[in-house]
């Protein structure tokens, strides 16, 4: 008899070998238009939670969200943006990149989570973004882990990708976790948006599901 | 051929279908506002407890202490009558509102082999809307009524007993059915009786089925005439010679009546329902129950009018005579009862009223069914009703003015944006802009953070706000901006700087008058 697994990764490996039929098929992905993300992890996994950690100021979190809006606009997908601290600036986007967006302006984290839970179950949406980047630390600490798993369960039944923007690694159920760590300087205000998007380089912190375009070849 | 849908104990059924809490409890209907109120109708549970027709309230309660006592409710009867007619219209456009609880339907042209199935479907439909019914099919309206009264009703919750005809006569019909007259099911008592042989059907029926007067009934009983067959066996002319016109009418009724033309009911042109409550409603459940009853009937009426509902409008009249109205435009016209009910339910869940509810009115706006096929590349809503429900729930959580698609206003005023309803179909993307966007998007602080600055040699060197502080390493600006200077109440002017802090972070700083604010973070 084989020795018992010593850590979580080994346990997952063991389970996938014993019960291959129970292992979920690779998720389809939503292409972001951000070369680094699409080439490295194959886009954002659908029916899964992606966490985008913005750990430094001006690291490009909002640029990432704006690029998601532009990419989904090209595919005419409906997007819900749950703004946990009412900080989204539509004026920073093209008017045409907003016609498919449903902007939910929240003042606190609790209603934002409830709204996300509702939207994550809607079959009409292709992407839901929950922005908690500026949420007070006290409110973030109060979110139970169970909440993240409920969101994961909610999106599993749909065909949408759920992106949660946080100031630190927080979402325990995230299938994909990217982190933006490099603060941008004032000189970037003169650069074209496309150039900035091309130079974005989030670091991969976690990837639990392989995506069809790249499999497990992850940096 | 005619069919009759019959609701026995119509007034009691009408009242009980508005009160789900009664269920199987014994219930009795007492005559209205008179000095000595008597039992005029009872359900099977009350009958089993020993309550009988004609008892006074103390007598009835003495026999059955938990007896639920109700008075006739005209609004409930009106609603039940409308439901009965709505079901009648599903069988034929030519129907007659013959009497309370009796709807006669002209089935001319219907497939003779499917008549029983049609009638059974109507009985099932009435069961769904909370009414226990029977149906009769025969060559004359009166014969069909006899058949409907004779049929066994299905045992359902709140099943009612009838004062006529007796179980013995119904049993006789069941026996007959094996030979000629047919029931919906040969193995069990059916709610539908199809009379194919009038003579054999009528013969065993008691004389009371033809509603003779008391005097005539007494005389005929003394002659030994107890059934319709006994009466029609007597020569008609002799009956007329002894009893005159009244005798002739009774003889003709005993023979099954004639094939008379119906008094047609005009199909409803408006689709509304209303009810005043005897006891004001304070919770959601009974209100939803009534609204569901309304919707069941209105959906049937719309179905027969080949229309669907485009809009729901409901009005609540409160105890203090104030009203609360709501108009719900459906994302896609529909006739689906569950969708209509869910739309109402979702909005009512978040509704709070100061006073209890005294009356409710519901109106559906009809429209033609949507027949347009969506284009191959159109990206409309996959589930419009689900989307509308989700939006309603989100609005209930954060407020209706906090949800929508952002639309930039045609002005240079900062943060000028409005929220509009989400588009039903997402249009194709526009061409690439002539002037592409530059720089990082702004992440706004709403409201802007009050800022304090330290200056060295006229330049800001340190920033302090509630959330952000640090040495300012780089700054660009100022850029003066203003607008609407021609309107005193809307004029705005400010100076803007872009600053970078030594510890990281690019921000927009602004000065309005002599006060500094941090408007947002470039992110």
Q: Model confidence at B158, in pLDDT bands (50, 70, 90)?
A: very low
Chain B residue numbers with beta carbons less than 8 Å from the beta carbon of A129 are: none
Place of tokens 């005294």: B358
- When mean pLDDT is compared over A162-171, B235-244, B255-264, B311-320, the highest value belongs to A162-171
Strand A176-180 versus strand A161-166 pairing type? unpaired
Alpha carbon distance B426, B422 (integer Å):
9
The Cβ of residue B323 has, within 10 Å, a number of other Cβ atoms equal to 11
Q: Comparing B496 with A22, which gets the higher pLDDT?
A: B496
**What's the mean pLDDT when you consider all of chain A?**
85
pLDDT for res B165: 38
Which candidate from A54, A106, A189 shows the least CB-CB separation from B498? A189
Q: Comparing A74 with A25, which gets the higher pLDDT?
A: A74
Overall average pLDDT of the B310-317 stretch: 89
Q: Model confidence at B376, in pLDDT bands (50, 70, 90)?
A: low
- List the structure tokens of B416: 């000028």
Q: Mutating which of A124, A127, A157 best tests the B interface, going by the most B Cβ atoms within 10 A?
A: A124
CB contact under 8 Å between A184 and B476, yes or no, is no
Q: Distance (Å) from the C-alpha of residue A37 to the closest C-alpha of chain B?
A: 18
Q: Model confidence at B374, in pLDDT bands (50, 70, 90)?
A: low
- List the structure tokens of B478: 């100022």
Please check the confidence at residue A74 and state whether its pLDDT lies above 90: no
Alpha carbon distance A172, B205 (integer Å):
77
Q: Model confidence at B185, in pLDDT bands (50, 70, 90)?
A: very low
Q: Provide the 8-state DSSP code for A192.
A: B
pLDDT tens digits for A40-51? 888 899 889 999
Q: Mutating which of B349, B441, B460 best tests the A interface, going by the most A Cβ atoms within 10 A?
A: B441
Q: Distance (Å) from the C-alpha of residue A155 to the closest C-alpha of chain B?
A: 15
Chain A residue numbers with beta carbons less than 8 Å from the beta carbon of B501 are: 57
Contact A55, A61 (CB under 8 A): no
Q: Model confidence at B258, in pLDDT bands (50, 70, 90)?
A: confident
Q: Distance (Å) from the C-alpha of residue B451 to the closest C-alpha of chain A?
A: 18
Overall average pLDDT of the B205-230 stretch: 87
What Å distances lie between residue B323 and B109, B285, B292, CA to CA? 48, 19, 20
Helix, strand, or coil here: B275?
Answer: strand
Which candidate from A62, A189, A194 shows the least CB-CB separation from B443? A62
Q: What is the largest CA-CA distance in chain B?
A: 130
Q: Model confidence at B162, in pLDDT bands (50, 70, 90)?
A: very low
pLDDT for res B213: 87
Which candidate from A94, A106, A186 shows the least CB-CB separation from B476? A186
- ipTM (interface predicted TM): 0.84
Alpha carbon distance A166, B72 (integer Å):
63
pLDDT for res B371: 58
pLDDT for res B369: 73
CB contact under 8 Å between A196 and B440, yes or no, is yes
Please check the confidence at residue A90 and state whether its pLDDT lies above 90: yes
pLDDT for res A218: 32
Alpha-carbon dihedral B85, B89, B95, B101, rounded to 10 degrees = -20
Alpha carbon distance B273, B147 (integer Å):
31
Please check the confidence at residue B186 and state whether its pLDDT lies above 80: no
At residue B99's C-alpha, the angle toward residues B93 and B100, to 5°, is 105
Q: Model confidence at B169, in pLDDT bands (50, 70, 90)?
A: very low
Overall average pLDDT of the B347-367 stretch: 86
pLDDT > 90: what percent of chain B? 19
**What's the mean pLDDT when you consider all of chain B?**
83
Which candidate from A119, A133, A191 shows the least CB-CB separation from B439? A191
The Cβ of residue B374 has, within 10 Å, a number of other Cβ atoms equal to 10
Question: Alpha helix (H) ranges present in B178-277?
Answer: 198-202, 214-223, 228-233, 236-254
Chain B residue numbers with beta carbons less than 8 Å from the beta carbon of A78 are: 379, 381, 422, 426
- List the structure tokens of A128: 């839901």
Q: Model confidence at B510, in pLDDT bands (50, 70, 90)?
A: very high
| Nearest CA among B34, B127, B137 for reference residue B91 | B137
pLDDT for res B418: 92
CB contact under 8 Å between B417 and A56, yes or no, is no
Which candidate from A101, A114, A186 shows the least CB-CB separation from B498? A186
The Cβ of residue B270 has, within 10 Å, a number of other Cβ atoms equal to 10
Alpha carbon distance A197, B153 (integer Å):
73
pLDDT tens digits for B91-148? 888 889 999 999 999 888 777 788 888 899 999 999 888 888 999 999 899 999 999 9
CB contact under 8 Å between B506 and A115, yes or no, is no
Task: Give the count of Cβ contacts less than 8 A between chain A and B.
Answer: 184
pLDDT tens digits for A95-148? 999 999 999 999 899 999 999 998 998 888 899 999 999 999 999 999 888 889
- List the structure tokens of B19: 């009160």
CB contact under 8 Å between A61 and B523, yes or no, is yes
The mean-pLDDT minimum among A98-112, A143-157, B85-99, B174-188 falls in B174-188
Alpha carbon distance A58, A81 (integer Å):
20
Overall average pLDDT of the B440-463 stretch: 90
Helix, strand, or coil here: B456?
Answer: strand
Chain A residue numbers with beta carbons less than 8 Å from the beta carbon of B444 are: 86-89
pLDDT for res A166: 94
pLDDT for res A209: 61
Which candidate from B397, B404, B504 shows the least CB-CB separation from A58? B504
Q: Model confidence at A157, in pLDDT bands (50, 70, 90)?
A: confident
CB contact under 8 Å between B398 and A94, yes or no, is no
Alpha carbon distance B101, A85 (integer Å):
60
CB contact under 8 Å between B408 and A63, yes or no, is no
Strand residues in A132-190 grouped as ranges (E)? 161-166, 176-180
Please check the confidence at residue A63 and state whether its pLDDT lies above 90: yes
CB contact under 8 Å between B383 and A124, yes or no, is yes
Q: Mutating which of B331, B418, B440, B460 best tests the A interface, going by the most A Cβ atoms within 10 A?
A: B440
- To the question of pTM greater than 0.90 for the whole model, the response is no
Which candidate from B390, B406, B423 shows the least CB-CB separation from A119? B390
């Amino acid at each position: 008899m084989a020795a018992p697994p010593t850590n979580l990764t080994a346990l997952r490996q063991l389970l996938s070998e014993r019960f291959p039929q129970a292992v979920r098929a690779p998720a389809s992905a939503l292409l972001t238009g951000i070369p680094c993300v699409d080439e490295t992890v194959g886009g954002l996994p659908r029916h899964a939670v992606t966490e985008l950690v913005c750990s430094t100021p001006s690291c490009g979190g909002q640029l990432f969200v704006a690029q998601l809006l532009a990419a989904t606009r090209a595919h005419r997908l409906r997007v819900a943006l749950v703004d946990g601290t009412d900080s989204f600036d539509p004026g920073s986007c093209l008017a045409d990149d907003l016609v498919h967006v449903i902007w939910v302006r929240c003042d606190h984290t609790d209603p934002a989570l409830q709204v996300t839970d509702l939207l994550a179950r809607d079959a009409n949406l292709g992407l839901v973004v929950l922005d908690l980047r500026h949420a007070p630390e006290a409110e973030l600490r109060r979110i139970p882990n169970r909440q993240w798993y409920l969101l994961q369960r909610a999106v599993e039944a749909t065909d949408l990708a759920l992106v949660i923007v946080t100031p630190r690694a927080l979402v325990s159920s995230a299938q994909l976790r990217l982190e933006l760590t490099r603060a941008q300087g004032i000189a970037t205000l003169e650069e074209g948006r496309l150039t900035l998007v091309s130079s974005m380089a989030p670091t991969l912190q976690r990837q639990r599901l392989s995506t069809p375009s790249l499999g497990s070849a992850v940096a | 051929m005619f069919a009759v849908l019959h609701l026995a104990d119509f007034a009691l059924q009408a009242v009980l279908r508005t009160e789900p809490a009664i269920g199987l409890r014994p219930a009795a209907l007492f005559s209205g506002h008179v000095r000595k109120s008597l039992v005029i109708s009872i359900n099977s549970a009350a009958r089993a407890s020993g309550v009988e027709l004609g008892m006074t309230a103390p007598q009835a309660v003495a026999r059955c202490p938990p007896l639920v006592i109700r008075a006739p409710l005209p609004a409930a009867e009106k609603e039940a009558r409308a439901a009965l007619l709505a079901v009648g219209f599903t069988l034929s456009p030519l129907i007659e509102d013959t009497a309370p609880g009796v709807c006669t339907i002209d089935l001319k042209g219907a497939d003779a082999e499917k008549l029983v199935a049609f009638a059974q479907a109507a009985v099932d439909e009435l069961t769904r809307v909370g009414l226990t019914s029977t149906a009769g099919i025969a060559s004359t309206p009166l014969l069909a009524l006899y058949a409907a009264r004779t049929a066994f009703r299905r045992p359902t919750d709140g099943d009612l007993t009838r004062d006529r005809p007796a179980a013995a006569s119904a049993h006789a019909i069941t026996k007959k059915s094996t030979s000629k007259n047919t029931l919906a099911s040969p193995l069990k008592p059916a709610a539908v009786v199809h009379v194919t042989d009038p003579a054999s059907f009528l013969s065993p029926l008691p004389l009371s089925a033809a509603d003779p007067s008391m005097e005539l009934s007494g005389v005929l009983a003394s002659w030994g005439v107890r059934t319709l067959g006994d009466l029609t066996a007597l020569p008609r002319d002799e009956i007329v010679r002894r009893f005159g016109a009244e005798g002739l009418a009774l003889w003709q009724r005993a023979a099954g009546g004639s094939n008379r033309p119906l008094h047609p009911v005009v199909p409803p042109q408006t689709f509304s329902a209303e009810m005043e409550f005897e006891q004001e409603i304070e919770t959601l459940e009974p209100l939803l129950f009534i609204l569901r009853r309304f919707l069941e009937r209105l959906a049937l009426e719309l179905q027969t009018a080949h229309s669907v509902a485009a809009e729901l409008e409901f009005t609540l009249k409160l105890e203090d005579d104030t009203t609360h109205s709501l108009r719900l435009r459906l994302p896609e016209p529909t006739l689906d009862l569950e969708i209509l009910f869910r739309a109402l339910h979702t909005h009512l869940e978040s509704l709070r009223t100061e006073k209890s509810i005294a009356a409710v009115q519901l109106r559906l706006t009809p429209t033609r069914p949507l027949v347009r096929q969506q284009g191959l590349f159109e990206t409309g809503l996959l589930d419009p009703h689900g989307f509308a429900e989700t939006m309603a729930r989100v609005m209930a959580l954060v407020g209706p003015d906090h949800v929508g698609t952002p639309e930039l206003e045609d002005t240079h005023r900062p943060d000028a944006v409005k929220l509009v309803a989400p588009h039903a179909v997402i249009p194709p993307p526009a061409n690439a802009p002539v002037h592409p966007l530059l720089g990082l998007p702004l992440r706004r602080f709403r409201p802007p953070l009050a800022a304090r600055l330290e200056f060295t040699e006229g330049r800001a060197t340190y920033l302090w706000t509630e959330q952000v502080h640090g040495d300012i390493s780089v700054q660009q600006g100022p850029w003066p901006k203003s607008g609407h200077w021609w309107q005193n109440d809307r004029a705005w002017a400010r100076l803007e700087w872009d600053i970078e802090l030594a510890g990281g972070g690019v921000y927009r700083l602004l000065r309005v008058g002599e006060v500094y604010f941090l408007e947002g973070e470039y992110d």
